[in-house]
Chain A
Amino acid sequence: MLYESDEDFLFQDVIMITNQPKKRILVVEDEANIAQFLKRGLTYKGFDVRVAWGGEQALQEARGFSPDLVVLDIMLPGMDGYEVCRRLRASSDDRLQIVILTAKDELSDKVIGLDSGADDYVTKPFVFEELLARIRARLRRSEAKNQHARQIVVGDLVIDTAARQVCRGGEPIELTMREYDLLELLAQHAGQVLPKEVIFERTWGYDNEAGLEIIKVYINYLRSKLNAGGKPDMIYTVRGVGYMLKAPSGL
């Protein structure tokens, strides 16, 4: 695709990326103040949010609402939070992500949560953007799991999304989790320039880099691994905007 100007392709990309159905989040929290800001904040950030005040209600809502992710406060009146977690996990498929909110200090209490079927935990008190980042990261995970196993091919780069494996020119490349996430995102939009904000939000979950230049660091790691053995660079830097993955010209 050819673009007339910078603004043009930015606009197109943004539409493509946000033209997805809203993710559904179920918040299970008995403290009204906390439930309220969670609902408002998450709704503002583009999620479809429902609130349940206790364990029983949560299970009911989950059946009807079919959330993509549950934010579950582990200290609930009535049914034990861990029990709710277990039942939620049991009654839904792998796709459901559960993030528990815990006020417990002992690591073992947090690990119990993970053993009960939670995917991650956030300790109270937390800053909202922290929770948001975790939620986004979790949703991205489940999204990846959800997609039918497929390959993304860009030039001589082959990405197996189900196995999370990468090969270039037939040779396998070892990537860390974050490097893979970054590469997969770029590959899914191969040939398009991804703005830094989008990259940061999709990969790290934060709304902005806050001037920390984090992406650059990981792009460089990625470059050195992909280009090992003298292979030509596939990641293009678009100054002031973002990055793009493309088969090197000539291929």
Chain B
Amino acid sequence: MSEALQTERERIAPPEKGLPLFVAMCRSLFSFRKPRSLRANLAQWNALVLLLTLALLESVVYQMVTAGLISDLDSHLTAQATRLQAATARWKASGTPADLNFLKQLVHGDRINEFTANSIYIKLFDVHSGQLLTLSPQLEQISIPLSRSDFTAALQGRRVLSVVGDRDGDQAHTLTFPLYDKSRLMIAIAQVSQSLQVIRQVQPVLLLVLGIVGLLAALASYAFSFYLMSQELRPLSRLIVTMHRLSAQHFDIRFHPARLTVEIIMLTQAFNQMLDRLQASFALQRSFVSNVSHELRTPLTAIQGQIDVMLLNPELKGEMREDLQGVSAELRRLTRLVTNLLTSARAEAGMFPRPFDNGGQIVDLDALLVEVAHQARFINQQIRLEVEHLEQVGVPGEADLLKQLLLNLVENALTYTPAGGEVKLAVIRCDSVPAEVVTETAVRSKEWARLSVCDSGPGIDPEDLPHIFERNYRGSYGREVRPSGSGLGLFIARLIAHVHHGAITINSEMGKGTCFHVWLPAAVEGAAFRSS
């Protein structure tokens, strides 16, 4: 696809791949204005669902990890307690007395080396008074007193697990239990404890990591969903572009989706059917207009011709001649109106005039202007119609259409100029055009022809000026002077100018007059005379 076509396509339909897709993705993340993008919505829901699921999962993970770590710690405590008990039993069995020395040995616990983690501290209390007998040598300071309930429970022979915390928020687990000798005599109450500090340090890190991972996962999901949705919705984008390309002339486009998802198939089938109906409707409209066109032309030709020939007769004089001339003038006006109507109806049915089919012709504008001036001289006898300037210049196009254009402009000028005024016609060759013509026609031509129809009428109201070429538009002055006007003349004039790659500009001054200038690209000056 060429560059221009690609960007045009992106303008119409959402982008599907590459950088534009990425840009669209980022934009849609942060845009909150309506309407929202479908893909963005779908991707967002996807990401949200993922986020919620992950949140749930992650909280479970978090809980489980924490609980696991703590229970791990507790089983360490329990294991230590069991070892202590076993050690006590062994030593007593070997006859060691239960004196302080012995106790001091006990609280040494396991040997510590560089690899030892999570130190467990041991404290031994007197069974009678609850006083501290001895403690692990590493412990320099006691922050946890022996609680009465733990002491009582241990005295009864139970092992008690407690959670203790201090003012700074540090926590530790303690396991309080009785120490027996071989003969089941309680020697002391032992308490082993371990700090939860490490676990408490791990927890926020875990939280952070889980949070970041969750967010990233959601973003990734959004991105992938967005991309995948774009692919799935590609047939939809193509549909949009195709629909843009449709016009009254191009109805042959039917849509055959490459990806066969059910919903897309149904959509395109409905679309194709609608196009079929539209095409049939237009065809009907076209044939109707063609038939009507032919039916109208025949009687108009017959009547016009019969009247024209009657007027050739010099015997016809006075009132009879005047009456007949009146009829002739009205008939010509009717013919112009019918021609305008037919052109308008054809344009609506998609049959725009095409002056360049089969190569087209070169129209001599000077000859055309003479024809038009001739034909228009009866429209308003009270106004002086003058050919002011005639340069010999030809333009590519269709003579009948350009004649229709000129007659519309001249009829306008002759109708809306008060009696006694004048209408001047001119055609000149020029090599430059005003800026507005360049923008309107988008055509580069070395030489241009300018047809001018200037009147000494009241001028066009600046309020009407921007609307004056609209179909059926009638300015207030126009409605005053000729209430039954159709408003079609100028619309058709501009249509014809456009299909000839030209434009119409207006110079108007209230109270002074109006000039309509028709700019048309001129034919390249070829041989001096064209052979007939």
Contact = CB atoms under 8 A, between A and B. Distances in A.
Interface of A: 31, 33-34, 36-38, 40-41, 44-45, 75, 103, 105-108, 110-112, 115, 119, 123-130, 133, 141, 164, 174-180, 204, 206, 210, 212-214, 217-218, 221
Nearest to B359: A111
A125 B374 contact: no
Given A108-B358, A111-B359, A124-B297, A214 B305 contact: no
Nearest to B306: A37
Given A124-B298, A127-B332, A176-B528, A107 B374 contact: no
Given A177-B530, A212-B370, A125 B306 contact: no
A68 to B, nearest CB: 15
A22 B410 CA distance: 37
Contacts of A44: 309, 312-313
Contacts of B360: 107, 111
B390 A214 contact: yes
Contact of A103 (B297, B355, B374, B375): B297
Contacts of B358: 107-108, 111-112, 115
A217 to B, nearest CB: 5
Given A130-B375, A174-B528, A212-B385, 10 more contacts: A31-B298, A33-B302, A37-B302, A103-B298, A107-B356, A111-B358, A111-B359, A124-B298, A177-B529, A206-B374
Contact of A127 (B290, B308, B342): B308
A226 to B, nearest CB: 14
B300 interface: yes
A37 B305 contact: yes
Nearest first, the 6 A-B pairs at minimum CB distance are A128-B308, A174-B528, A33-B302, A37-B305, A125-B300, A41-B309
Contact of B305 (A38, A133, A210): A38
Interface string B283-313: 0000000100110011011101110110011
A218 B298 CA distance: 37
Interface residues of B, number: 51
Contacts of A206: 374
Contacts of B220: none
A41 B312 contact: yes
Interface in B383-407: 385-387, 390, 392, 398, 400-401
A212 B301 contact: no
Contacts, number: 129
Contact of A129 (B306, B364, B366, B374): B374
B305 A34 contact: yes
Interface of B: 290, 293-294, 297-298, 300-302, 304-306, 308-309, 312-313, 332, 335, 342, 346, 351, 353-361, 364, 366-367, 370-371, 373-375, 377, 385-387, 390, 392, 398, 400-401, 528-532
19 contacts: A103-B301, A107-B401, A110-B398, A111-B360, A124-B298, A125-B301, A127-B332, A128-B304, A129-B374, A130-B375, A164-B529, A176-B392, A176-B528, A177-B364, A178-B367, A212-B370, A212-B373, A214-B387, A217-B390
B357 A111 contact: yes
Nearest to B295: A103
B357 A107 contact: yes
Given A111-B358, A130-B375, A175 B300 contact: no
Contacts of B302: 31, 33-34, 37
Nearest to B358: A111
B5 to A, nearest CB: 29
B387 A213 contact: yes
